[in-house]
Structure 1
Amino acid sequence: MSAPDKPINIADETAGDIAGNEAVGIHPRSVLGRLPRYAAGKPPVVIEGLRSYKLSSNENPLPPLPAVLEAIGNQTAVNRYPDPLTTALRGELGAFLGVPPEDIVTGAGSLGALNQILAAFAGQNDYDAPDEVIYPWRSFEAYPICVGLAGAMGVQIPLLPDSAHDLDAMADAITERTRVILLCTPNNPTGPALTDDQVRGFLERVPSHVVVVLDEAYVEFVRKPGAVDGIQLYRDYPNLVVLRTFSKAHGLAGLRVGYSISQPALTQHLRVSATPFAVSQIAEHAAITSLRHIEEVRERVQAIVDERTRVVEALRGCGWEVPEAEGNFIWLELGDTTPEFAALADQQALSVRAFGVEGIRVSIGEPEANSRFIALCRAFVEEHGAPGTPKN
């Protein structure tokens, strides 16, 4: 079994804040000193003569659909609280996905929905040892933060050499204290997606009392044959929760609309832990309108997928070994040269997401941004050779 989460470097100001609090007798929960801070994608550097592009946050480079912008502009009753059950959106989603609206619980993005799941099923229970939450690593950087704040202990399972989940190791790590397991498909930041067969095989090894979360924030971008579809899967497994969001494909990241889908045995508890009024009426109307124009959304998603294919093929063509990319981003394992590559991207007015000395995640952006990134990668290879991960 992998060791639980270890402390990750904390920003200097965090230590200063804690020291300041201690000086006046204020003591936060001890877990705060052991948690990393979420590092949001930085904005691009402004370079004279170059248009800047942000490729660091996996955002949709396109604004919401015109109909969505119109729907947002028409909302004036912001002096009123929104419907705490987001009844209209759940009805629309239920019809769109072919699931009972009662199986859907909304949240402030898929991250908000995840926090509701952890609040309901993992933390410090009525015994001395904290619950355990198993998740792959490296994966979504908010996982250790969310798990720690819930009061649970994270158990990180290293990825396979091809940057995919090691499902066998994750299953082997299950103990009597395991309460939740997180699966991220496609995995953020590395890119590979899980198949239906893989997840079904994994679920057969998981005890029925352990909640399995299938995080599908990027599901609309997946083109892998046989890829898992949580909507089909959750009907067969009462302990499975599917996470989805309007942030990526629909371009509504700033409005924070996400949701979970699970059977009533789980949703009855998630409704208790759900944050009241987490989804504003503006966000709800935007999401409903976007769903009603789903073909336009799909056209935009396909354009991003086409650009993703162009970028991956170009990089592999000049020597890079790029892992399977099924989200709206790609991953480059750069090791010690990660900071140097990020600095070179800055010089090209491109912001990318650097992960220490592990690698770089680059969002698929506007065609011009993608072309500039390809040129940067070619120049890097000419000078350094091509680093990368093992090919799938």
Structure 2
Amino acid sequence: MECVTAPEPTGASVRLRPEIAALPPYRQGRPAPDDGYKLSSNENPHEPLPGVAEAVAATLPEINRYPDATALVLRERLAERFGVTPDEVLVGAGSVSLLAQFIAAAAGPGDEVIYSWRSFEAYPGLVTVAGATSVRVPNRPDHGHDLDAMAAAITDRTRVVIVCSPNNPTGMLVTAGEFEAFMARVPSDLLVLLDEAYIEFVRHEDSVDGRTLIGRYPNLVILRTFSKAYGLAGLRVGYAIGPEPILDAARATAIPLGVTAASTAAALASLEPAAEAELLDRVEVIARRREAVHTALLAQGWPVPGAHGNFIWLPTGEATTTVAERLFDAGLVTRAFPPEGIRISIGEPESVDTLLRILEELVPGSQERHPA
């Protein structure tokens, strides 16, 4: 029998887009030690409701079948809630998946996408994958969006503007007045994405709320998610509300069948009145815990900005890596963004005492105030 010898490798590599080859992959937070706490991913620390877990389990006998590609029942439920038609609702595999769809639908090579920076770390990658160019507008000194500067950055090449409120990772929100003034300066044919992944945690009466803006702007899409407040991060289900033609364009860019039957069932179960009331009670607990941590850090002397999500932003500057490692050694995994700061999710109550104890030792200038 003739022996076939495999060809020697030539050393040539597959030709890839250079901007993609150079793009760092999205980095998840590292796992927490067994006796520690994961405060790096803005997850909801509460376990799933029994009814939600039962709804997910009920889909198991049919995992050999494809799910409803349009998540119609969930879209109908959301449409009723927001006073729109089901065709004005788009469900996707988390709000980040929807962001990718809208960016791909509107922007390509030679186009620009504007967003505040620092903001959600996935934005730059999503823009690059679409072939477009990012225009990062620096945050204000208080770590909030500079909407005037963002409006001034719009050019003929701009195709998308992303506004994140509350802003991840800095926690600052955009007020309703600020957003309306911004929209008055934005061309009506420029797509604006209002990313409200943390809206349920907001307790500030002046905050922008996409629900009040539905139908007012022909170029506005609102993005929300079940990952945070509803505790379904592991199932990946988010939704968008906006004009049907824009949503149809985003539907055309979607990976088929991205929303599973399990995620749809979990979202529907979470919207049942009794379940949702319990989930929102949990959100209130997290919001109160966030306020307590924020107040304590201010009292310690940390220059923390306003906190309106389920996390705190710690502007640690050049000390970011040092502080993050110190917290890790104490069993707290956080998300560090050297050399700017650290995002700390509001997690289990047991984590708070450790967090405040360690950070009190690391307050900028504490060594001068409390010499050894």
Distance 2:91 2:298 in 1: 39
In the other structure, the counterpart of 1:336 is 318
In the other structure, the counterpart of 1:263 is 243
CA contact under 8 A between 1:45 and 1:347: conserved in structure 2? no
Counterpart AA for 1:96: R
CA contact under 8 A between 2:314 and 2:343: conserved in structure 1? yes
Counterpart AA for 1:61: P
CA contact under 8 A between 2:112 and 2:159: conserved in structure 1? yes
In the other structure, the counterpart of 1:149 is 129
- Aligned counterpart in structure 1 of residue 62 of structure 2, from 60, 77, 83: 77
In the other structure, the counterpart of 2:189 is 209
Determine whether 1:353 maps to 2:338: no
In the other structure, the counterpart of 2:4 is none
- Aligned counterpart in structure 2 of residue 313 of structure 1, from 282, 295, 315: 295
Which runs of structure 2 are paired with 1:34-113 in the superposition (5 Å)?
34-46=22-34, 51-75=35-59, 76-113=61-98
Q: Secondary structure at the match of 2:363?
A: helix
Counterpart AA for 1:381: V
Which runs of structure 2 are paired with 1:1-392 in the superposition (5 Å)?
23-46=11-34, 51-75=35-59, 76-124=61-109, 130-292=110-272, 293-381=275-363, 384=366
Counterpart AA for 2:355: F
Distance 1:41 1:24 in 2: 34
Distance 2:124 2:366 in 1: 34
Counterpart AA for 1:42: R
Structure with the greater alpha carbon radius of gyration: 2
1:385 Cα deviation from its structure 2 partner: 5.7
Q: Greater shift after overlay, 353-362 or 34-43? A: 34-43
- Cα shift readout 1:183-227 (whole Å, capped 9, x = no counterpart): 111000000111111111101101111100000000100111111
1:382 Cα deviation from its structure 2 partner: 8.3
CA contact under 8 A between 2:29 and 2:41: conserved in structure 1? yes
Q: Which structure 1 residue ranges, 5 or more long, are not aligned?
A: 1-20, 125-129, 387-392
CA contact under 8 A between 2:56 and 2:262: conserved in structure 1? yes
1:363 Cα deviation from its structure 2 partner: 0.1
CA contact under 8 A between 1:107 and 1:275: conserved in structure 2? no
Counterpart AA for 1:59: E
1:294 Cα deviation from its structure 2 partner: 1.2
- Relative to structure 1, the CA distance from residue 307 to residue 131 in structure 2 (aligned partners, 3 Å threshold; closer, same or farther) is same
Distance 1:173 1:243 in 2: 23
Equivalenced residues, count: 357
Q: Secondary structure at the match of 1:180?
A: strand
CA contact under 8 A between 1:35 and 1:144: conserved in structure 2? no
Distance 2:352 2:10 in 1: 48
1:383 Cα deviation from its structure 2 partner: 7.1
1:354 Cα deviation from its structure 2 partner: 0.5
1:33 Cα deviation from its structure 2 partner: 3.4
- Cα shift readout 1:274-331 (whole Å, capped 9, x = no counterpart): 2221110011000000011211111010000010011011111111121010000000
Distance 1:385 1:331 in 2: 22
- Cα shift readout 1:152-211 (whole Å, capped 9, x = no counterpart): 000000000000001011001000000000111100000011111111110110111110
- Cα shift readout 1:237-273 (whole Å, capped 9, x = no counterpart): 0100111111000110010001111012312222222
Counterpart AA for 2:360: R
1:99 Cα deviation from its structure 2 partner: 2.4
Q: Quote the RMSD (CA, aligned, Å).
A: 1.6
For normalisation by structure 2, the TM-score amounts to 0.93
CA contact under 8 A between 2:302 and 2:364: conserved in structure 1? no
1:22 Cα deviation from its structure 2 partner: 9.7
Q: Secondary structure at the match of 1:84?
A: coil
CA contact under 8 A between 2:290 and 2:310: conserved in structure 1? yes
1:234 Cα deviation from its structure 2 partner: 3.0
1:65 Cα deviation from its structure 2 partner: 1.3
Q: Secondary structure at the match of 1:331?
A: strand
Q: Greater shift after overlay, 286-295 or 26-35? A: 26-35
Identity of aligned residues (%): 48
Q: Secondary structure at the match of 1:244?
A: strand
Q: Secondary structure at the match of 2:140?
A: coil
Q: Secondary structure at the match of 1:169?
A: helix
Distance 1:213 1:60 in 2: 24
1:108 Cα deviation from its structure 2 partner: 0.7
Q: Secondary structure at the match of 2:362?
A: helix
- Cα shift readout 1:108-134 (whole Å, capped 9, x = no counterpart): 10000111101111112xxxxx11000
CA contact under 8 A between 2:114 and 2:160: conserved in structure 1? yes
Distance 1:346 1:384 in 2: 20
Q: Secondary structure at the match of 1:223?
A: coil
For normalisation by structure 1, the TM-score amounts to 0.88
